[in-house]
Amino acid sequence: MNTIIGQPMDRVDGRLKVTGAATYSAEFNLKDLAYGVTVQSTIAKGRIHSIDSSAAEKLPGVLKIITHENALSLQPVGGSQSPGSGKLGEKDLLPLQGPAVYYDGQHIAIVVADSFETAEHAASLIRVEYEEEKPVFEIEQGIKDAYMPKQGLGGQSVQNTRGDAAAALGQAPVHIEAVYTTPVYHHNPMEPHATVAEWKDDELTIYDATQSVLGSRNAIARMLRLQPENVRLISLYLGGGFGCKGFTWAHSVMAPMAAKIVGRPVKIVLSRQQMFTCNGRRSRTIQQVALGAGNNGKLLAVRHDSTTETSFVDEFVEPAGVATPMLYDAPHLEVVQRLVKLNKGTPCPTRAPGEAVGVFALEAAMDELACRLNMDPVQLRLLNYAAKDPKTGKPWSSKYLDECYKKGAAAIGWHNRKAQPGSLREGEWLVGYGMATATYPANRSPSSARVQLFSNGSAEIACCTQDIGTGTYTILTQITAEGLGLLPERVTCKLGDSLLPKGPNSGGSQTAATAGAAAWAAALTLKSKAIRLAIADKASPLYGLPETAVKAVNGSLYAADTPSKAESYVQLLTRQRLPVLEAEITTQVSTREGQPPPAEPEGEKSEAVKQDEEVNRKQYAFHSFGAQFARVLVDPLLGSVRVTHCASAMDIGTVLNMKTAVNQIMGGMIFGIGMALMEQTIYDPNNGRVVTRDLADYLVPVNADMPEFDVQFINKPDTFISPVGARGIGEIGITGMTAAIINAIYNATGKRIRDLPATPDKLL
């Protein structure tokens, strides 16, 4: 193993993407295609009194204007809140089913026309009269009605206690307490949301930009009262998602609704401005963190009290305190989560939901504690190192965080750091160093995969998961090639089609561990089938050998002790007159609490697959860990900040592809730079409308903002999560990075920024 897995192989879909041959959801231009443009509300609360569409209807080329008065009747989605089960982003707001308005930018009509330009112009001619009510825009306005939710996404607990935190904090020799706030963030993937829908009798085909092919199919089918098997959903490529494409939003069912009404395929593509209103965001947070420690730096108590926002049409919790119970070994702890309902669109998962904002607050507080103790921040974390999960008492499936601290510190030049803020300069610039811990759960869910071996010596891996731009096509190709003993160029990968074997949604950093384990199981099972064919065939040079004595490499089977006894897959299948040999495996393995007991997987299993399923994963706590370090320059006169160097050391189990893995962590680190220094969504306090509604006003890091990046991995397999040993890395890269930068700014200036982003006005 690990001759192909882990190699920095180029993306197998890279050439398709750079040549424009990769077809994204908005690029399926079907015959007789019509175009839908949605009309959005211009008030934040109230009811539609009337909609005047007469001027729009007179335009040549307008096919239909659909409102709540003539829309198809939809049924509630129901079911689980998990994205993989088909989560409608706003469960109490089925699109176009009534006149009520809950937020500015809510979809209230669709214009369908024979061209996009006609539809867009017609939409601008529609006049709406409202019965307006007084809305609630900000957490502070609704704080009196705040409540404590019982659970968050996937049923996770968001209220946690152990010991007596209040008493321990009161008795602690060293005590720090502060409030940290983060603004609303928007995902802003390069590819906007897009859906194309086509009906053929009662069969529906949808091309949708989604992080959950099966989840979106199931949600849309339920809303339209269809059997899931009558809906085919295709999502071959995504131009990013970061969580906003993990739920199903209104436009994804409005497109098939419109297509049914006009009797033609319909395409809806949201504009960049619409991407700020009706398809999720990261909630604003107000977090109060208190730490109590002994004079030696040992944590005695932690309290993390968070208030976040949701909407009036669904409950979404940004679980800011989710990492706090497990990150450090403190005997007394209290994590409290509160929610406030606002007249804004519903929040949704955004890359590392909970951890990204919560780890910022916790790790900034840890830095404040280190300064109070006059202790090196790395040493403070090592002193409070959790050798087992403090929340559950279980041993970690694998943890090398202490090595991450050492690697990251060496990479950033931590020895150059001066403890006294403002004491290090580079010309006129103040120099600062900061660090923080990174963490994210290691998830694995049930999945299926089918591997086929063809008589020409090529193979195909198929799984109904999706590649959201992170490299899933590539790593599944590598895993399958390794498992079968083929060269990667002989393997093709099929994803993104609901007709394929069931796969996971892309959320919770689980795709690699989940689909990868299923692909590995299917490849091993198929290889075992081929070996058994050979050793049972008198015409084979391998006849009569034990199965364990036969190996596979470069498309051939050979005797381990006599390599000259060999034959290729081509020779074997040709002689057997088999055009294809296949194995489809369903693994029910899960690392998530509350999952049902494993069911018997489908298909014939190899011994390696059985061993995977026999691991008692309930005995272990599964998390990935890392250390983030940053070096910054701050202009003392202008308050401007330059991040010059970021170092990241990650413990994520087996690295499946070194090139895409580094790319993933860098992407997360760039997210952290944006959170720390520039990103924020601003609403008009008078009407609740988004002001920063494009990429000219909503600032994100660009090439000129990029520092030197140093990304390293421990690269030790986690054999308890799967035989491949890999944990997901899509989200851990953002956690800790924001705090590392904010802590570096303090080291440079002596000014503690607790209200993100750290814009120049806050440093002057």
Active site residues: 731
Containing 436, the helix (H) or strand (E) segment is strand 429-441
The CA distance from 533 to 550, in Å, is 12
Calculate the alpha carbon distances from 41 to 44, 322, 345 in Å: 8, 35, 12
The CA distance from 97 to 67, in Å, is 8
Question: Crossing angle for the helix pair 737-749 and 355-373, nearest 10 degrees?
Answer: 30
| Beta-strand runs (E) in 599-673 | 623-634, 641-651
The CA distance from 196 to 35, in Å, is 9
Nearest of 741, 763, 752, 757 to residue 642 by alpha carbon:
741
Give the chain's length.
764
The CA distance from 201 to 206, in Å, is 14
174: helix, strand or coil: strand
Calculate the alpha carbon distances from 22 to 80, 236, 465, 469 in Å: 33, 8, 17, 12
Containing 567, the helix (H) or strand (E) segment is strand 566-568
> Which two tokens mark 287?
């977090």
The CA distance from 690 to 569, in Å, is 60
Nearest of 366, 328, 332, 307 to residue 176 by alpha carbon:
366
Number of H helices, E strands in the chain: 17, 27
Residue 92 CB: number of other CB atoms within 10 A?
14
Residue 701 CB: number of other CB atoms within 10 A?
20
> Which two tokens mark 724?
């491949």
Residue with tokens 């891996």: 461
The CA distance from 234 to 471, in Å, is 18
> Which two tokens mark 752?
């503690």
Collect all residues with Cβ–Cβ distance below 8 Å to 550 and sequence separation of at least 6: 531, 534, 535, 542, 557, 558, 559, 560
- Fill in the DSSP letter of residue 510: -
Cβ–Cβ < 8 Å for 71, 257 = yes
The CA distance from 643 to 566, in Å, is 57
Nearest of 474, 477, 466, 556 to residue 502 by alpha carbon:
466
Calculate the alpha carbon distances from 137 to 340, 347, 685 in Å: 10, 14, 7
